[in-house]
Copies of this chain bind each other. A is one copy, B any other.
Amino acid sequence: MTASGPLLLLVEDEPQMRRFLRVALEGGGYRYLEAATGQEGLAMAAQHRPDLILLDLGLPDMDGLDLMTRLREWARTPVIILSARGQEADKIGALDVGADDYLTKPFGTGELLARIRVALRHADTGDVQDPVFSLGRWRVDLARRQVLVEGREIHLTPIEYRLFTTLIRHAGKVVTQRQLLKEVWGGVAGAQPLYLRVYMAQLRHKLEEDPSRPRYLRTEPGVGYRLRTED
Contact = CB atoms under 8 A, between A and B. Distances in A.
Contacts of A222: 157-158
A108 B153 CA distance: 50
B127 A108 contact: no
Contacts of A146: 172, 174
Main DSSP-derived SS at the A contact region: mixed
Contact of A110 (B88, B153, B158): B88
Contacts of A117: 95-96
A89 B157 CA distance: 41
A108 B88 contact: yes
A75 interface: no
Interface in A54-82: 76
A136 interface: no
Given A91-B114, A157-B221, A144 B172 contact: yes
A208 interface: no
Given A88-B108, A222-B157, A114 B96 contact: yes
Contacts of A172: 144, 146
Interface range for A: 35 or more
B125 A145 contact: no
Nearest to A116: B95
A210 interface: no
A146 B111 CA distance: 37
A154 interface: no
A96 B113 CA distance: 10
Contact of A158 (B89, B91, B223): B223
A137 interface: no
A77 B113 CA distance: 22
Interface string A79-94: 0000000001101100
Contact of A111 (B91, B110, B127, B226): B91
Interface of A: 76, 88-89, 91-92, 95-96, 99-101, 108, 110-111, 113-115, 117-118, 122, 125-127, 143-146, 153, 157-158, 172-174, 220-223, 226, 230
